[in-house]
Structure 1
Amino acid sequence: MAPRPLVAGNWKMNGSRAALKELAAMAEGYDAALRAKVDLMICPPAPLVFLASAAALGSRIAIGGQTCHPESSGAFTGEVSAAMLADAGASAVIVGHSERRQYNRETDADVAARAKAAIAEGLTAIVCVGETQAEREAGKALAVVARQLGRSVPEGATPQTVIVAYEPVWAIGTGLTPTTDDVAEVHALIRKRLVSRHGRQAAGIRLLYGGSVKPANAKDLMGVADVDGALVGGASLKAADFLAIAAAFR
């Protein structure tokens, strides 16, 4: 049985209390017909997680965080723990986004530690993997994704604890996207590796595609084999665009 689709929005370091009007518009447009086809999630900046969770009550739109610290508490000024996100109403958290790997020097081991911390607090870890343009041009895309996957996803991953998002680094925020054949090739590799390592249950882990997903290309990308939804960046900041992407599953 195919995993239920999910379209998740990563607001990154964008948004304010005023931006929650977009979340309200998403809730209004998330009608019964669309709810029957696809799950929706928004991951706002940490200061907005509680307010977004309150605003989303009753809408069936899930709220997630954008990262978490490996420790549950302690002297880590400026950090946010998985326990704090869960307490604020989050049900999931993104870990290992390429921007975190690049700007915060997060390694695969760091990502795995954050994923474990999230799972321990009852959150679903959305583990991001993806190659750079140089790695793709060198023919190393599959090897890079396989390495990140093997080292970043904790043992015993299940559909309830882990979601994997393939985000080719060179496609994030650039307007560029891989061909559907390229996406299919990488997602097939991810599915195969997950099942090989974590058992048959891993066939139900949702695999999201991310990287310049927008209304104009959503239908083609969401129609690719082993693509169970999208992790959307800029287009998730506007309700009309986000709902148009989700409508690919109508």
Structure 2
Amino acid sequence: MKFFMANWKMHKTVQEALEFLKDFIPSVQGISDREIGIAPAFVCIDSMSKALRDTDIKVGAQNVFYENKGAYTGEVSPVMLKDLNIDYVIIGHSERRKYFHETDEIINLKIKATMSENLNVIFCIGETLEERESEKTFDVLKKQIEKGLENIEKYDSLVLAYEPVWAIGTGKVASELQIEEAHAFIKNRLKDIYSDKADRIRILYGGSVSPENIHSIMNIANVDGVLVGGASLDPEKFLKIIKYEERK
């Protein structure tokens, strides 16, 4: 099933998030062939989880720590998220890697901790502009996949998101060929790890996704959905993305 996940990042207060849902929930009722999710800021999760309880819309978290409890000021554990009826946790986003210096090893610990609580993971990978221009894209993706998924066996709880760092929030979108090549490479690396089970792992694209480019993105081989940033903050834009019509 195609997957449309909103990453709201550090936007929207609790009240603003609930206002968003008032019109959004009725607008997506009846959509059964696409999975829809929203990852709000931590302060909004409890309220949104309750508001979405009787819907098919999934709730995600944008981060998690790799211990279930302890003296880790400011962190949130997988156990705490599970208690809030979270469905997905975004791990390894480039902004976490850049601003909070998360390494592949830390990301691996977070994936393990999250899956140990039977929560689903959206594992983000992607290259910087410098790495792309230096023709290191596939080396970077290979390392991120191998290190991030080391000793991870629960493929059925895993979604990957390819997000070229240079296309996040910039308005720049990778070309169809760049996306196709990256997703094919990721699929093959997953097959190296999980064999034929890799076909069950969805691969999302993220990076300046909009109503204007969603058709071309979703028409690319091995693209199973999108991780949407800025456009998902506007309910009308996010709905247009979700409700795009497939082209034969």
TM over 0.5, yes or no? yes
Indicate the RMSD between aligned Cα atoms, in angstroms.
1.2
Match of 1:22 in 2: 20
Q: Which amino acid is 2:92 matched to?
A: G
TM-score (norm 1): 0.95
Match of 2:80 in 1: 84
- 2:66 maps to 1:70: yes
Shift in Å, 1:248: 2.1
Match of 1:169 in 2: 165
Match of 1:114 in 2: 110
Match of 2:133 in 1: 137
Match of 1:5 in 2: 2
Distance 1:76 1:220 in 2: 43
Q: Quick one: which of 85, 90, 93 aligns to 1:94?
A: 90
Shift in Å, 1:24: 3.0
What does 1:222-241 align with in structure 2 at a 5 Å threshold?
222-241=218-237
- 2:242 maps to 1:246: yes
- 1:105 match: secondary structure: coil
Q: Quick one: which of 33, 36, 42 aligns to 2:38?
A: 42
Shift in Å, 1:25: 2.2
Shift in Å, 1:158: 4.3
Q: How many residues align?
A: 245
- 2:201 maps to 1:193: no
Question: 5+ unaligned residues in a row in structure 1: which ranges?
Answer: none
Distance 1:218 1:136 in 2: 23
Match of 2:145 in 1: 149
Shift in Å, 1:153: 2.0
Distance 2:46 2:118 in 1: 17
Shift in Å, 1:159: 4.7
- 2:114 maps to 1:125: no
Q: Which amino acid is 1:26 matched to?
A: F
User: Contact 1:45/1:66 (CA < 8 Å) preserved in 2?
Assistant: yes
Q: Deviations over 1:93-151 (max 9, x none)?
A: 00010000000000001111101111011111111000000100111111111111111
Distance 1:159 1:30 in 2: 28
Question: 5+ unaligned residues in a row in structure 2: which ranges?
Answer: none
Shift in Å, 1:225: 0.4
Distance 2:116 2:154 in 1: 13
TM-score (norm 2): 0.95
Pick 1 or 2: higher relative contact order, CA cutoff 8 A, min separation 6: 1
User: Contact 1:24/1:55 (CA < 8 Å) preserved in 2?
Assistant: no
Match of 2:29 in 1: 31
Distance 2:88 2:245 in 1: 22
User: Contact 2:155/2:194 (CA < 8 Å) preserved in 1?
Assistant: no
Distance 1:185 1:178 in 2: 11
Match of 1:209 in 2: 205
Distance 1:146 1:172 in 2: 20
| Residues 205-214 or 82-91, more deviating | 82-91
- 1:164 match: secondary structure: strand
Query: How many percent of aligned residue pairs carry the same amino acid?
Result: 38
